Structures are given as C-alpha cells and as structure tokens.
Amino acid sequence: MAKLDNAITDNFDQLPRQRKRSRLEIYKDILTALIREDAEHPRPSLTRVANRVNMPYDRLVNILEVLNVAGLCEPSDRAYRVSLKGAEFLTEYRRFSESINRLGIRS
C-alpha cells in the first residue's frame, strides 16, 4: 500500500501547476459562460455555469452579485444575463488581452 501511495504522490507532484486566475479573468470567464449558457439552453442553469468556469456554486453566486451591482449582468428567470455594459467589458477585455499578447507579455 505504501508503494501505491508513493507512486500516486510522485505522479501528482509531476503534474503541471496551473496559475491562478486573476479576478478580471474570473469575471470574463463567468460572463462568457453566461452568454454560452443562454445561447445553448432554453432554461439557463447556474449549476452548468459553475461547472463551465470550474468554480463552486456558492462562490459563483457571490461573484454574480458583485457583477450585478457593477451592472455587468442582471438577474433573469432562473439565472443571470449579461448586460450591455457586461458585453462592452468583454469586448474591451479581449482587446486588451490581444494587445498584451502582441507585446509578448503573458496575460
């Protein structure tokens, strides 16, 4: 059993570590997931959005409240929808990210 534990631990240590997402990246991911959820499903689900952005449901709900107060999304039937201001945020985020990548800076 100890050999198996060591093999699992050794292999786990060799996995590449993902960098943490910034707050803006998380906001971008959530807004993008809301748009996709709205386009792909007749009844949007926050559970599916949480799965898409790889985040616990309760944390997603807290962040959606922040985005709602900021005017980037708005409550709808059972989920949230991206507002016009949220769509503008996504456009500007993509533009900024592309500029950073062209400069060779890792975003």
- Helix, coil or strand: residue 42: coil
DSSP 80: E
**Total-model pTM:** 0.79
Q: What does the pLDDT read at residue 2?
A: 62
Tokens linked to 26:
């998380």
Mean pLDDT of 57-62: 97
Q: How far apart are CA 106 and CA 20, in angstroms?
A: 13
pLDDT digits (tens, 9 = 90+) for 7-54: 555 665 666 777 889 999 999 999 999 999 999 998 889 999 999 999
**CATH (residue range 21-102):** 1.10.10.10
Tokens linked to 81:
């929808």
Q: State the greatest distance between any 2 C-alpha atoms of the chain, in Å, as a whole number.
A: 57
Q: Over the chain, what is the mean pLDDT?
A: 88
- Given a cut of 70, whether residue 1 has pLDDT beyond it is no
Q: How far apart are CA 47 and CA 18, in angstroms?
A: 23
**Domain residue ranges in the chain:** 21-102
